[in-house]
Amino acid sequence: MDRMVLDDVINRLLEVRGKPGKQVQLSEAEIRQLCLTSKEVFLRQPNLLELESPIKICGDIHGQYTDLIKLFQYGGFPPRANYLFLGDYVDRGKQSLETICLLLAYKIKYPENFFLLRGNHECASVNRIYGFYDECKRRFNVRVWKIFTDCFNCLPVAALIDEKILCMHGGLSPDLHNLNQIRNLRRPTAVPDNGLLCDLLWSDPSREIQGWGSNDRGVSFTFGADRVTEFLRKHDLDLICRAHQVVEDGYEFFANRQLVIIFSAPNYCGEFDNAGAMMSVDENLLCSFQILRPADKKPKFGFGSITSAKSGSAPTKIMVH
């Protein structure tokens, strides 16, 4: 993709800062270029990304473009900070197109500093139903939606930070015994109805069970704290970082702080009173959280840093004050 065209796309997408809800109408040709070029980058990089701290980790965005811009305003616009997003860029919110286009543009411009994982909504059978298809059809045509589908089918599904923090959208799988299984998942691919890839994007932790349980979503499984402890010990990991669930404070710990949920869409769908969060991992694997408050709370869009102190060598020993 021509660098001048790419920079122009990014500039136009950022021009609406401070204008909540204002659309940016790219051309179909520009969108096609974004999808084709980013697809090549995704396929050049592994399915299990191996990343280094420092890095900022964001959870679900779901088309809340104004909130995505706010995350960058507080965390630093690329390339000032390294970013990893955990998926679910589209559906539910009103500006899925702006959201995914800016993220793909940054991926192309900063391929070694900006990383995107696949969420369960980066799948045609899901975003056909929950809003993205309708937004593409209303603002462009079905052809554009299909172009995005081809791109989503190439997204990586997990990331390993400093060989200690494993990140994915959903969670663990009863079929996951070796991290090489993730590396060896073939792309491009649709998301199957069951199996390892499905679970990485769909499974949920549960405080109600030990081992594996059925999932109320009707897809994949739930897993207990014992599964997390066993998995971390077996693979010499410190923390699992995942998204996929709305949590009131934007982040929530599970399994004695061996797993953290990150959700980055505040006031989700306009129906929840949740905050959004971004987790910063420093060079010592110390994790801290920055909180994006719902719009109707005071101070409006207050973005506070919750400092975390680590006792011991693992980033799971986080003391949140």
Structure tokens at 164: 């200690």
Cis peptide before 174 (omega within 30 of 0): no
Give the CA dihedral 206, 193, 154, 112, nearest 10 degrees.
10
Rounded-to-integer distance, Cα 97 and Cα 64, Å: 10
**Residue 235 a catalytic site member:** no
Q: Are 295 and 268 in contact (CB under 8 A)?
A: no
Judge contact between 317 and 239, C-beta under 8 A. Answer: no
From 121, 169, 235, 244, active-site residue: 121
Place of tokens 């660098």: 3
Structure token pair of residue 152 = 């989503």
d(CA 24, CA 148): 17
Please answer whether residues 277 and 250 qualify as being in contact, where contact means their C-beta atoms are separated by less than 8 angstroms: yes
DSSP readout, 165-198? EEEESS---TT---THHHHT--SS-PPPSSSHHH
Cα–Cα distance, 251 to 161 (Å, whole number): 18
CA–CA dist 106, 13 (Å, integer): 11
Among 155, 168, 232, 240, smallest CA distance to 199 is for: 168
Could you give the residue numbers annotated as active site?
A: 121
